[in-house]
Structure 1
Amino acid sequence: MFHCPVSVIVCACCPVDRSCTYPDCWCGQELQNTLRQVQKLLSAHETSFQQNLRSVRKKLSLLQNNTVKHSKLNTGKKSTGCPSPEPLANGRILGRVFKVGHEIHFLCSPGFQLMGLETRRCLDIQTWSGTQPSCKFRDGTEYNNASVAASASSSSFSSQPPTTTRPSRCIEFLGSTHCTCEEGYSISRQDTKLCTDLDECELYRRTQPGRLCLNTCVNTAGSFFCQCPSGYNLARDSRSCHDIDECVRGAHNCSREQVCVNTHGGHRCVEVGCPRFRNATYIKTSALRCDRNPCLQEDKTCLHAPLSVNFHFMSVVSNISTPTVLFRLSAARVLGDTLRFGLMGNRGVQHFTIKRSGRQTGQLVLVNSVQGPATFQADIEMSELEKKVLLGRYVTKVTLFVSPYNF
């Protein structure tokens, strides 16, 4: 509210010559006239203030109504962003956020080569930058060579990163210029007004090997992504690799007569057949077990043949730490007074040993670290004796598949 300061000095005036003790003092009549004028002025200001207040209230009410209407119109709309990108035939798209400023990356399946941009950005106009790339079938020789090069190391890196540049963001402060770049870019050494792509794969290869990606690091414009070899899926942390169990998923080509064995990065189709021992015949009682047919009482050669032969298949990664217990063998019941465990022949003796872990239990132990891909076999014999007389033999054939990767 507007205030008008008024300073009035009231004094006693002489009735004859209207002279006062003070030169600035007013008499009663003059004071009343002045007060009336001040009252009119204040009343006018108060009326103007009330009108202005009503006008402001009307504008606020109108603005509030428009805001409510705008909110109702936008209730059913999605947040600003780009439409879902078209699926990439013979490849896949990395990136699930389609908002303005975000990027998606394109990756082709093994045997195919990316033709076009490997990265597209969601622009302010809610459309994707550039054009949709495609995946072209590679020449077989070129693909095989690339696969061999990729599997030669547990952590390989892109050797030809994109040389994408972008303008930097510069501000002037106190007579000097300061420039910054987006995440994934660094100031160019030649021109501070330009930002060059930061090769994260090369950076981490020199500082922390294997910490960025467990297997393959692929550099992209302003970013990177990790890639796993065939037979693996990228984990949720976007850097680790999880083995795909083709046997459980049914993604194998094994016949009904074969046994599907999952390995790290693949699978094996194994045919299990009963062994041959002199004067002894066997029958397959399950997919992984063969039992000996009854022997004639006087046929000692047949009686010394194993009563049963079991098959066991395992898969381990390369360079596994040793010693490592791979397999435990236990007798369900003991008829004699002695139970012995050992390896048959010379197969696998340089990599395995048998360790006794209980009266009825033995362990197959890997004693030497092995580099894959490789396959090793060990035949474990369990013999039951009564007063040093053989009551029966049981054989377990263990096959070990070693992966070419250490994960």
Structure 2
Amino acid sequence: MLLIPLPAWLALGILQLPLGSTQVRTFECLSPQQALSAVRQMQKLLAAQEAAHLRGTRGLRQQLSVLQKTCPQPVVPLNGRMLGRSTRVGHDVHFVCDAGFRLVGSETRACRHDRTWSGTQPFCRSEVEQGWGVGGSALPGGSCTTPSRRVPSPCSPGCRESSPEAAAMGTEAGHNASFSRQPRCAEGRAGSRRCSCDAGFQMRASSAVTGPPAMPHSVPPDVDECQLFQSSPQTRLCLHDCLNLPGSYRCLCPPGYLLRADRNTCEDVNECTGKQHNCTQGDLCINTFGGHRCVCPKCPPPRHNTSYVKTSAFQCERNPCPMESRACRLAATSISFHYLPLQANRTVPRVLFKMSTTRFVGDSLRFAIMGGRGQGVFAVRRSDRQMGELVLTSPVAGPVTLEVDLEMSEFSRKVLLGKHIFKVTVFVSPYEF
């Protein structure tokens, strides 16, 4: 016989007897129909709970899928480039054409929630058109030259070069391939042909031709990507500065930085490790953002029976005090020097420096700012029982050098056991990177 365990609330037939009754309580067993009905009720309950769980899981998956949705990789038009890398929903990409081509279609396309791109697929169309000669023979249309170089270039077949400048410079200069390049031409509808130049070149008309004159052609202006995109934080091309080039652009970094492999961000050069500094012997080189500093930490001179000895490049320890000198006992037992590089306009509050003691024998520590230049932008706070923090409270525009003296005092029952001085120097860069 198969026994089906049932919850307590499904028990049936309990006889409720009044208090004091001597009758024995009896229980009725469930009939097969009643047991089957109870099992079905439990199955319905479990099915409802499972459906609710699946609905919650499905909603969570839908939310995650929205966050992870990306559009297909956009097609970059021939003779053009795409600006922008993210293909996630809500992000934009931009398209520009090389010199000598005009963008047809959407300049900006956004990734929509249905994972499709807005607008239409752009393509780059050549801007230059030329005429045809008599009898269907193509007239020469000149050659492509760099805008900054005005050296004559060789004519197409059937064209004569009669420029006085070319005659003066001679054949060798006139055929210098680094200054000129033949255009790419293709036949179009009857009576026209289309020619274009490589990126960085523009169409230059022939100085003389035989036969009927060719139709004038226009030289399209170069697209200045720096002017279009550099000024906006959303479309900024370069971290620092942008230089427009014929058909392209180049990112520039300030002195003390190198352009990274991504060609748009700058990386600080560590002059100290590369021995590119000008520090003399005895000085210490401190690398900063965009440069370096030469420092020479020195212990304070003897005063009031108190003198110090240098125990490391950045630390001074107090010599033993005479028994009768109270001023010496109240002076700092050690002085350390700390140099911190910092980018300009950092977000605040920002922890710059932490101070603590490795051997805590008293019952309390106190932290305070004792002086220095620019201390108005700093504050000290306790992070735990044995540690304090120097906090930058206001953004600082560089270049500027800030100094602050911190004191950490150890007490036992309000009696000073010793104190340490941290002399912190902050070199703020003129740049935010």
TM > 0.5? yes
Shift of 1:216: 1.7
User: Which residue of structure 1 lines up, in the alignment, with residue 335 of structure 2?
Assistant: 309
Residues in 2 aligned to 1:286 and 1:223: alpha-carbon distance in whole angstroms: 53
For residue 247 of structure 1, the aligned residue among 272, 285, 291 is 272
Shift of 1:219: 1.4
Matched, 1:267 2:315: no
Shift of 1:345: 3.2
Query: Which residues of 2 match residues 6-405 of structure 1 at below 5 A?
Result: 129-130=177-178, 172=188, 193-208=218-233, 211-276=236-301, 277-345=303-371, 347-405=373-431
CA contact (8 A) 2:336 2:423 kept: yes
CA contact (8 A) 1:197 1:222 kept: yes
Aligned CA distance change for structure 1 residues 381 and 130 (closer, same or farther; 3 Å): same
Range 169-178 or range 232-241, more displaced: 169-178
Q: Which ranges in structure 2 are unaligned for 5 or more consecutive residues?
A: 1-147, 151-174, 204-215
Task: Determine helix, strand or coil for the equivalent of 1:203.
Answer: helix
User: Which residue of structure 1 lines up, in the alignment, with residue 55 of structure 2?
Assistant: none
Shift of 1:179: 8.4
RMSD: 3.3
Shift of 1:201: 1.3
Q: What's the CA shift string for 1:3-52, capped at 9, x where partnerless?
A: xxxxxxxxxxxxxxxxxxxxxxxxxxxxxxxxxxxxxxxxxxxxxxxxxx
Aligned CA distance change for structure 1 residues 392 and 197 (closer, same or farther; 3 Å): same
Shift of 1:181: 7.4
Q: What's the CA shift string for 1:46-78, capped at 9, x where partnerless?
A: xxxxxxxxxxxxxxxxxxxxxxxxxxxxxxxxx
User: Which residue of structure 2 lines up, in the alignment, with residue 47 of structure 1?
Assistant: none
Task: Determine helix, strand or coil for the equivalent of 1:322.
Answer: coil
Residues in 2 aligned to 1:208 and 1:179: alpha-carbon distance in whole angstroms: 37
Residues in 2 aligned to 1:298 and 1:248: alpha-carbon distance in whole angstroms: 48
Q: What code does the residue aligned with 1:375 have?
A: T
Residues in 2 aligned to 1:195 and 1:228: alpha-carbon distance in whole angstroms: 30
Residues in 2 aligned to 1:186 and 1:204: alpha-carbon distance in whole angstroms: 23
CA contact (8 A) 1:165 1:195 kept: no
Residues in 2 aligned to 1:248 and 1:175: alpha-carbon distance in whole angstroms: 67
Shift of 1:130: 3.0
Q: What code does the residue aligned with 1:200 have?
A: E
Residues in 2 aligned to 1:165 and 1:406: alpha-carbon distance in whole angstroms: 43
Aligned CA distance change for structure 1 residues 403 and 346 (closer, same or farther; 3 Å): closer
Q: What code does the residue aligned with 2:251 have?
A: C
CA contact (8 A) 2:382 2:389 kept: yes
Task: Determine helix, strand or coil for the equivalent of 1:405.
Answer: coil
Work out which of the two has the higher radius of gyration on C-alpha atoms and give 1 or 2. 1
Aligned CA distance change for structure 1 residues 260 and 207 (closer, same or farther; 3 Å): closer
Residues in 1 aligned to 2:362 and 2:235: alpha-carbon distance in whole angstroms: 54
Q: What's the CA shift string for 1:333-358, capped at 9, x where partnerless?
A: 11111111111136443111001001
CA contact (8 A) 2:337 2:424 kept: yes
Task: Determine helix, strand or coil for the equivalent of 1:198.
Answer: coil
Aligned CA distance change for structure 1 residues 165 and 326 (closer, same or farther; 3 Å): farther
Residues in 1 aligned to 2:409 and 2:227: alpha-carbon distance in whole angstroms: 57
What's the % identity of the aligned pairs? Answer: 44
Task: Determine helix, strand or coil for the equivalent of 1:194.
Answer: coil
Residues in 2 aligned to 1:399 and 1:210: alpha-carbon distance in whole angstroms: 37
Pairs aligned (count): 250
Q: What's the CA shift string for 1:249-296, capped at 9, x where partnerless?
A: 111121231111000111000111102454310011100000000001
Residues in 2 aligned to 1:280 and 1:236: alpha-carbon distance in whole angstroms: 55
Aligned CA distance change for structure 1 residues 192 and 366 (closer, same or farther; 3 Å): farther
Residues in 2 aligned to 1:234 and 1:294: alpha-carbon distance in whole angstroms: 53
Q: What code does the residue aligned with 1:392 have?
A: G
